[in-house]
Amino acid sequence: MLSTFERFKSSQEVKKTRLCIGIDPVIERLPIHLQSVEGLKQFCNEIFDSTEDLCCCYKINFAFFEYLGVDGFIILKDLIKRIGSNVPVIADAKRGDIGNSSQYYAESVFNYFNADAITVNPYMGYDSVQPFLEHKGKFVFLLGLTSNPGSRDFQRLMVEGDVPLYEKVITLSKKWGDNYSLGYVVGATHHKELKRIAELVDSYMLLLPGIGTQGGKLEVAMEAIKGKNAIINVSRDIIFPSQNENYLEKVREKAQFYKEKLDLS
């Protein structure tokens, strides 16, 4: 069986794009006719069915399912099952706890929901990340410099060695896993820092959210990560182009647009 890392690579080769589509089904932004629990399920399935050939992977944000409780968890599990083995799935769950607890979070995301990769928060250090890395063949994206305004509060603080905290997070944690199992989340909104971070992570994979709605510029990101292992995520700008019944035509147009802009051929 191929590892998640190998599946990311082969999926990028086949689809010839770095595009990851983020499935963040914020209920009030769904097409009007789908603003219900049943509708949300249909929306997720239709987004996948209409874009499967246009992206190298999907990133699914757990927040937008968890608030629906049991109904949301069922939709989430079914969605990951539907995506199946064709396209890798990143669980954007931002977990992380003391080792004993992280072990069960890993069990939940990798074995119960059957996702291929997960985003993990580094604040609690080595033993909070290790249980996720122990799942052979899966993949961990550690938060480096996140795409949101709050990333400046702590991540950019200068620490010992005269580097910003996010840089220390990356250089220290690289020893925790190899580039087949570990990568980093870096917001594409940080135009000035992207090139330096891409050099810093070396062969470790980057996952770049923040393109589109959050203000990250696609061309800047593409230039900075040229020749690197990198996945670029677009969520809201692809999945919410219209609230009309024929929204899927526009979703496909948007996905096609980003697929080509994030070309890897």
List the Cα angle 228/233/235 in 5-degree steps: 175
Per DSSP bridges, beta strands 19-23 and 230-234 are: parallel
DSSP, residue by residue, 17-57: B-EEEEE---GGGS-GGG-SHHHHHHHHHHHHHHHGGG-SE
Measured CA angle at 260 (ends 258, 265), to 5 deg: 135
Q: Which residues contact 231 (CB under 8 A, 6 or more apart)?
A: 8, 12, 18, 20, 56, 57, 205, 206, 207, 208
Q: How far is the CB of 113 from its own copies (least distance, A)?
A: 7
Q: How far is the CB of 209 from its own copies (least distance, A)?
A: 8
64 binds its own copies, rule: CB under 8 A: yes
Q: In terms of CB distance, is 82 or 152 closer to its own copies? A: 152
Among 32, 49, 86, 123, binds its own copies (CB under 8 A): 123
Query: Is residue 35 at the binding interface for its own copies, with CB under 8 A as the rule?
Result: no
Pick from 150, 192, 219, 227 the residue near its own copies by CB under 8 A. Answer: 150
Does 32 participate in binding its own copies (rule CB under 8 A)?
no
Decide if residue 184 touches its own copies (CB under 8 A). Answer: no
The span from the CA of 246 to the CA of 242, in Å, is 8
Closer to its own copies by Cβ: residue 85 or 213: 213
User: What is the smallest separation between the CB atom of 149 and its own copies, expressed in angstroms?
Assistant: 5
Given a contact cutoff of 8 angstroms between Cβ atoms, the answer to whether 183 and 141 are in contact is yes
62 vs 139 by CB, closer to its own copies: 62
Region binding its own copies by CB under 8 A among candidate stretches 9-17, 46-54, 118-126, 241-249: 118-126
- Note whether 99 binds its own copies by CB under 8 A: yes
Active site residues: 94
Say whether residue 102 binds its own copies (CB under 8 A). Answer: yes
The SS3 call for residue 2 is coil
**Cα–Cα distance, 124 to 195 (Å, whole number):** 27
Binding site for its own copies (CB under 8 A): 24, 26, 61, 63-64, 66-70, 73-74, 77, 92, 94-105, 107-108, 111-113, 121-129, 143, 146-155, 157-160, 165, 168-169, 172, 214
